[in-house]
Structure 1
C-alpha cells in the first residue's frame, strides 16, 4: 500500500529529472569514481539510537581524492516501520573531472529525515525523505554560502535465496534518489542530482551486511552548463551495535 501512496512523489521527481535532462546547451563530463563506505545504526534504548557513517570517495575509482564525509545523527523509532533522525555531516570536496573547482573546499551540513519501511511479498521497501541545510565555502570564497536541499530515496531489497533475507544469504539492493535545491542562493538549477544504484549484498547476520554495486550519478553543476555522468563503484559495510543495558536473567 505504501508504494502506491508515494507514487505521486515518484512521478514528480521523474518529471523533474526528465526536464533537467532535456536541454541541449549543456556539456557532459564523464568520470569513473569509487565510493567506500561504512554505516552503523546503534541502539541506545528501545527507541533512541545513534547513526554513524564515514564515506571516502575517490576519483578514477581509487587513485585520486574526490570527497571525504563523516556523518552522524540521533535516531528515534516512531514504530517498527517509521524512524526520524537529525544529524550533522562534514563534507570536504577535492578538484576532479574535466571541469574541476580551482581548489578543495569544505561544507558544514545539518539534516533531518523520515524513513519508512514496508514489506510487499518478497520485496522490502524503504522510503527516505531528507531535508538538508548546507553551508559551503566554495573555492576562493571568503564566506560560506547557505543552501537548502530536499532528497527522496526509494529503495527495494530482494532476497535471492528464499522468500526473505536471512543470515549468510545474498540479496539484491536497488534504489533511486533525487536531490532538489530550494530557497535562497539557488542559481541555475533546481535539480541538483540523481543517483540510480544496483548492488549485490550479503547478510552476515542481522546486524552486519556488505554491498558491492554500481551507481550512476548524474550531477548538475551550479553554472547550469556542466553536467556530470559519473560511473561509480560502491562498496558499503553496515555494522550495527547494541548499547542497551542487558537485564540480568
Structure 2
C-alpha cells in the first residue's frame, strides 16, 4: 500500500501555459520556369513579445527564416519541392552574456502538395512537409542537435466576393497543421506543435496577393506533460512570376480526333 501511494503521488499532472505572442512577416515567391519546373522561396522576419509583457506581440527579434527549393509540377493535382533552409535564431535576452546573440540552423526539406478537385467554391489541399534539422539552443557552448520533423497540413481557399479566386478577389483560408519530430534528444515529447492558422487574402493581380491572419499554436515541452501555447499575428505577401514565353502559357488545345 505504501508503494502504491508513493507511485500515485509521483505522477506528474499535465499543465498548459501561454508563453509567447508574436508578429511574423513573410514573403513567398514562386517562379515558373517551364511546364514542370519552378523556384519556390519563403523569407520570414519573426518577432516575439517583450520579456516583461507576454501580450506585447513584439519587442524582441525571434527568427530570420529563409527557405529555398526546386518546385516540381507532376500534374494538375500533385507537386513537390526540395531544397535547403537557413534559420537565424536570435537570443531570448539580447542583453545577457549567457546566450549567443544569434545561432544558425541549417535544414534540408522536401514537401508534397496534393490538390483536391474543387468542391463548389472551395479548393482544398493536403501538404506533407519533412525537415532534417541541425539545431542548437542559444545557450553559450551548446552543440548542434540533429532532429527530423514531420508535418501534415490541411488547408483551403474560399472566395468571398466571386465564385472563384481571381484578380480583385477576397478569400478566406482556414488551415490546421500537426508537427511531429524525432531524434536522440526527443524522448517524451514526440508532438512538437499543433497549429491553426486562419486569415483573409486579397488578390491584387496575377502576380501579387496579400494575406493577414491569426495563428494559434499548442506544443509539447521536453518533459512530455507540460504544454505551451502562443498567439501569432501573420502578415504575408505572395509573389508569382512566370518566365515562359506567352505561347507556352496558353492552355493546350486537343486537336486530335
**Do residues 47 (structure 1) and 32 (structure 2) align?**
no
Distance 1:117 1:206 in 2: 19
1:9 maps to which residue? none
Per-residue deviation, residues 137-162 of structure 1 (Å, max 9, x unmatched): 22334532110110001001111012
Distance 1:220 1:94 in 2: 21
Q: Contact between 2:16 and 2:229, CA under 8 Å: does it hold in 1?
A: no
Shift of 1:164: 1.1
Q: In the superposition, relative to structure 1, how do residues 155 and 27 fare at CA in structure 2: closer, same or farther (>3 Å)?
A: closer
Q: In the superposition, relative to structure 1, how do residues 105 and 29 fare at CA in structure 2: closer, same or farther (>3 Å)?
A: farther
Q: For residue 244 of structure 1, give the secondary structure of its aligned residue in structure 2.
A: coil
Stretches of structure 1 lacking an aligned partner (at least 5 in a row)? 1-22
Q: Contact between 1:29 and 1:226, CA under 8 Å: does it hold in 2?
A: no
Distance 2:193 2:207 in 1: 31
Distance 1:91 1:170 in 2: 32
TM normalised by structure 1 equals 0.82
1:135 maps to which residue? 134
Distance 2:103 2:187 in 1: 19
Q: Contact between 1:59 and 1:96, CA under 8 Å: does it hold in 2?
A: no
Shift of 1:92: 1.8
Distance 1:206 1:247 in 2: 17
1:66 maps to which residue? 62
The partner residue of 1:30 within 19, 30, 34 is: 19
Alignment of structure 1 residues 1-249 onto 2, 5 Å: 24-60=13-49, 61-96=57-92, 102-103=99-100, 104-118=102-116, 119-139=118-138, 140-224=140-224, 226-245=226-245
Distance 2:78 2:136 in 1: 35
Per-residue deviation, residues 196-220 of structure 1 (Å, max 9, x unmatched): 0110110112332111111002232
Q: In the superposition, relative to structure 1, how do residues 27 and 154 fare at CA in structure 2: closer, same or farther (>3 Å)?
A: closer
TM normalised by structure 2 equals 0.80
Per-residue deviation, residues 93-143 of structure 1 (Å, max 9, x unmatched): 22449xx99444321111111101121111110111011111112233453
Shift of 1:29: 3.4
1:12 maps to which residue? none
